[in-house]
Amino acid sequence: MNTLKLFLSFLKIGAFSFGGGYAMLPLIRKEIIEVHGWLTVREFIDILAVVEMTPGPVAINSATFLGYKVAGVWGSIAATVGVILPSIVIILIIAHFLSKFRESPYVDYAFRGIRPVVLGLVASAALTVAKDAIIDIKSLIIGIVLFYLVSFKDMHPIPVIILAGIAGAIIY
């Protein structure tokens, strides 16, 4: 039963998320924690940490890891197929019709309207994860320093992840 619920939940997430994996995080969190109660906030944050370190798209990795945590291998398959299926269908439809409507101002207007939504969803995901991940002043300082290194010093994310792990091991 959880396998079908996982598929349907991630199908809904895949169908109503624009902007990629980070934009999906608020919807994933709501479905997994609030609607179904499959994971705690801490488990969700821990899985997000693994998802961030794993190569591949955030949305697919999230679905795969969360599905596995909830219902094993079949859960990971169900969640992954559910999250990618809407994108596949939408891309096939768009590819078929876009060449006919590429120059339409209405298509341009639609995309201009979607862009701010993507920004809002990504910002919401960042704030949601920050609320749950910042547990004390030490974690806040680690987050600020590492954000600075990635954003302003153009440090590659892999050494930043390693530094965060080392900092956490030393500080905690």
Note the pLDDT of residue 24: 81
What pLDDT does residue 98 have? 74
Residue type, 136: D
Q: What average pLDDT does the chain have?
A: 87
Joined tokens for residue 56: 């591949």
Q: Which parts of the chain register pLDDT below 50?
A: none
The secondary element (H helix, E strand) that includes residue 20 is none
**pLDDT at residue number 105:** 86
Determine the number of helices (DSSP H) and then strands (DSSP E) in the chain.
7, 0
The pLDDT, as a whole number, for residue 94 is 81
Question: Which candidate, 25, 15, 7, places its Cα nearest to that of 70?
Answer: 7
| Tens digits of residue pLDDT in 124-168 | 878 887 887 888 999 899 989 989 999 999 999 888 888 888 988
Q: Check if the beta carbon of residue 69 is closer than 8 Å to that of residue 62.
A: no
Is this structure's pTM higher than 0.75?
no
Q: What pLDDT is stored for residue 19 in this prediction?
A: 66
Residue 16, pLDDT score:
82
Alpha carbon 144 to chain centroid distance? Answer: 21
How far is Cα 134 from Cα 145, in angstroms, rounded to an integer? 13
CB 104 within 8 A of CB 117: no
What pLDDT is attached to residue 7? 96
pLDDT at 10: 92
Strands (E), 42-145: none
Tally of residues, the chain: 172
